Amino acid sequence: MEMLVNTVRMVDYDQLKEYSFGDENSLKENLAIGIINPEDFEKLNLTTSLNLKLSNEDGKVIIKVKQKEDVPIGTILMPVSIWANQITGISNEQLIFKNIKVNAETTRDNVLDIEELLNIIKK
Amino acid sequence: MKGVKKLVNKRVKCTGCSLLCDDIIVRGDGLYIDEVIGACLKGKEKFEQITGKNRILSPLVRDKGELKKVSLDTALERSIEIMKESSKPLLYGFSTVSCQAQLKGIELAKSINGFIDSNSVICQGKVLNTAKEMGLTLATISEVINKTDLLILWGANAAESIPRLLNKILFSRGKFRMTGREIKTLIIIDPVKTASFGVMGVRDLSLNIDPGKDIELIRVLKEECCTPSGFPADGVAGIDQDDLKRLLIQITNAENAVIFIGQGILSSQTSVNVVHELLDLVHMINIKQQKGRMSIMMLGGHYNMAGFDQVALSLFGKNHSLQFFDNNLVETSETIISKLSKEDFDCSIIVGTDPISHLPWKLSKALMSKPLILIDNKKSATFNVADVILPSSLTGIECEGLAYRLDHVPIELQKIVNPPNNIISDEELLSKLISRLNPI
Amino acid sequence: MELYKFLPKTNCKKCGKPTCMAFALDLLQGKVKIDDCPPLLEPKYKKNYNTLKELIGSEEGKEKELRIDVETDLCDGCGICVTVCPVNARYCPPTLSGKAPDYPPEKHQLFQVKAGKCELLAIKYCRRIEAQGRERECRVCETYCPRDAIKIDYV
């Protein structure tokens, strides 16, 4: 399904906080997430045990999904983090952090750890 | 302890975000901080970083893929080696260090023929660049408290990014705005219903704009300001006609309006054009208006992002992206983004920021492929890939310094407690590097 | 407000209160009983009387206690409650310009932000208990909390 990703800053899912006080697990739990509307949650046939795979021409990432009613339909909100930056790109020397077009599909694969992610980027 | 007095009921400045609140009460015995009163969650976390479990407490050098604890001397030597081997070093960050350290950073860039850039280039630097041609009306926080009657949050979720901002600007009762919240009107323009919408009253206006359509709204408003001919019947950018009329009445009749620009505008695809049009609109309204004026405030996240702009502007007349050669500034149109995407560098020195998390992975990959020296106080994604790590103390808590608030007002930061053993400030670290590079 | 709908709304003052609205508020807090309103006992208000009885239920007559709940999980310490609270504004002048109040807190101070979370100090000085008339309906802290962390309730 075609969706739009917006990177946002949130108090609850803040990378500065996670890097200062968290460990690898809490980092993954609180930053590798996307917030979507419950209607989209049903449309994507998601359950709490399934993850969401986002892909576009810039890259791909697997995230956990949380629901919130205030999010507009067709939009995914992601906290600014290394996970969100797997699908961001550059156009015309400007970084694209808002309204990123992605293809979203459900997956059984696990969310990657930060170490695994860094190794993939290196290659 | 020498130099640190007993701190019961002392008001201090907080470096949790760019608002630099100066009314935080810190209680402690001079060695440790026990209680932080008045600070928001972000500020409290900043004060807790002193003893945070991911604090870097000793210099580290990567040897065959493994990070090893070394003495400061060894780490400095290794950094000098990296710098001497390179011909095109890249310096990046500087938005969470004091202005003094930023000056030293520029000096270091000069002595190694480097390219220096701050986080501002992907944030509020765009506004300042545009402002060079068009002019910019800024307002200070006290002005907003005392005079403003219209606040527009445009693509900014102030309630979550700078928690105490709405408290200070919207709910406070100022000199000419004695009734506080009742006399101030709030307009929020955002595609998402954020936490900031929670403070809306009955007279306020919430506009759910279609994502990426800000520029259409600004153009329509500009047209209406010049030649009133009525808005299109089906609305613009997802906002209907009635709301557009109310918006126009509000912005043209306000005595003292402030537009708060957030990441929604600063980091969108067409940000440069949007900023250009927005400044033009503000300019137009200011000319038309008889009694009042409209100003702009940029909401950056890091506490001293405005500082680097000010330091670089006062020294070189350019607010970011400075390329040096033979102690002189060289004319260049390149930024950190073009440098990284072309891989036009051979080592990088990152000060107080985390580009691996902030930048798209293609740029991170370029950073990882070259030697990386990191000066920071806590672990981050960049920590995991750095070759040399120099730990620094927390400015505003463990050492003094100057910082510029988001409204470009300089604030002197204080020292509250002593830093951990053998940890020195960013400024001292950078000047040690400089003195080792050019021994007398 | 729900209760007010079923009162006679004549402001006859027979119950001793100035308005029917004031009576409704006291009814909500359990300070008066339904039977204290003489016109309600008349046959033409019989239906309203029964509805009110159902609404109030078995708790009738019990003194209800004001409670202000601050949910610490939601609170991010923005301090808006500290600034908007009219009691704070009267006794702690710094809050007028959005500053944090002095420490230790003044005895009338209702809210303070400590360690990044809002804390309720002295509920007995809240306007809902102390003030008279319209001021008694004060709900500013609940209305303006951006993250809906404050709830005013009677238990």
- Cα dihedral B146, B148, B154, B158 in deg (nearest 10): 20
Cβ distance of C100 and B37 shorter than 8 Å: yes
Say how many Å lie between the first and final Cα of chain C, rounded: 17
* Nearest residue of A to residue B126, measured between CA atoms: A94
Superfamily of chain region B125-298? Dimethylsulfoxide Reductase, domain 2 (3.40.228.10)
Predicted confidence (pLDDT) at residue C26 exceeds the cutoff of 80: no
Among partner residues C97, C102, C112, which is closest to B145 by beta-carbon distance? C97
Which chain B positions have a beta carbon within 8 Å of C144's beta carbon? 171, 181, 198-199
- Residue B417: closest CA among B401, B434, B394: B394
> Per-residue b/e over B374-395, b at no fewer than 16 CB within 10 Å?
bbbbbbbbbbebbbbbbbbbbb
Which chain B positions have a beta carbon within 8 Å of C84's beta carbon? 171, 180-181
Give the residues of chain B that fall short of pLDDT 70.
1-9
Q: What is the ipTM for the molecules in this complex? A: 0.90
Q: Which residue has the higher pLDDT, C60 or C73?
A: C73
Which chain B positions have a beta carbon within 8 Å of C80's beta carbon? 166-167, 171, 199
The CATH class of C2-59 is mainly alpha
With a CB cutoff of 8 Å and minimum separation 6, the contacts of C13 are: none
Which residue is associated with the tokens 């330091």?
B311
Q: Is C129 left (phi over 0), alpha (psi -120 to 50) or beta?
A: alpha
Tally of CB atoms within 10 A around B405: 20
Q: Confidence band (pLDDT; 50, 70, 90) for C62?
A: low
- Residue A78: closest CA among B122, B340, A68: A68
| Spatial separation of the C-alpha atoms in residues B78 and B70, rounded to whole Å | 11
Q: How many residues does chain B have?
A: 440
| Dihedral pair phi/psi, residue B427, rounded to 5° | -60, -50
3-state helix, strand, coil in chain C (%, to 5): 45, 10, 45
* Nearest residue of A to residue B359, measured between CA atoms: A85
| Spatial separation of the C-alpha atoms in residues C102 and C86, rounded to whole Å | 16
Q: Where are the domains of chain C?
A: 2-59, 66-154
Positive or negative, the CA dihedral C107, C113, C115, C118 is positive
| Spatial separation of the C-alpha atoms in residues B73 and B186, rounded to whole Å | 55
Interface membership of B160 toward A (CB under 8 Å): yes
- The reported pTM is 0.86
pLDDT of A92-117, one tens digit each? 788 888 888 899 989 888 888 888 88
Q: How many residues does chain C have?
A: 155
> Per-residue b/e over B203-236, b at no fewer than 16 CB within 10 Å?
ebbebbbebbebbbbbebbbebbeeeeebeeeeb
B217 within 8 A of B239, measured Cβ to Cβ: yes
* CA distances in angstroms from A105 to A3, A53, B136, C132, C155, listed in the order given: 10, 5, 45, 59, 47
Among partner residues B157, B267, B356, which is closest to A98 by beta-carbon distance? B267
pLDDT for C1: 62
* CA distances in angstroms from B337 to B80, B324, B341, B355, listed in the order given: 25, 17, 6, 11
| Spatial separation of the C-alpha atoms in residues B217 and B251, rounded to whole Å | 13
Interface membership of B178 toward C (CB under 8 Å): no
pLDDT of A46-104, one tens digit each? 888 889 999 998 888 999 999 988 888 889 999 988 898 888 888 878 888 888 889 99
* CA distances in angstroms from C61 to C17, C27, C29, C155, listed in the order given: 17, 9, 9, 13
pLDDT for B2: 45
State the CATH architecture for B58-121+303-437: 3-Layer(aba) Sandwich (3.40)
> Per-residue b/e over C34-71, b at no fewer than 16 CB within 10 Å?
bebbebbeeeebeebbeebeeebeeeeeeeeeeebebe
Q: Tell me the domains of chain A and their CATH numbers.
A: 2-122 (2.40.40.20)
pLDDT for B72: 92
Interface membership of B12 toward C (CB under 8 Å): no
Domain C66-154 carries which CATH code? Answer: 3.30.70.20
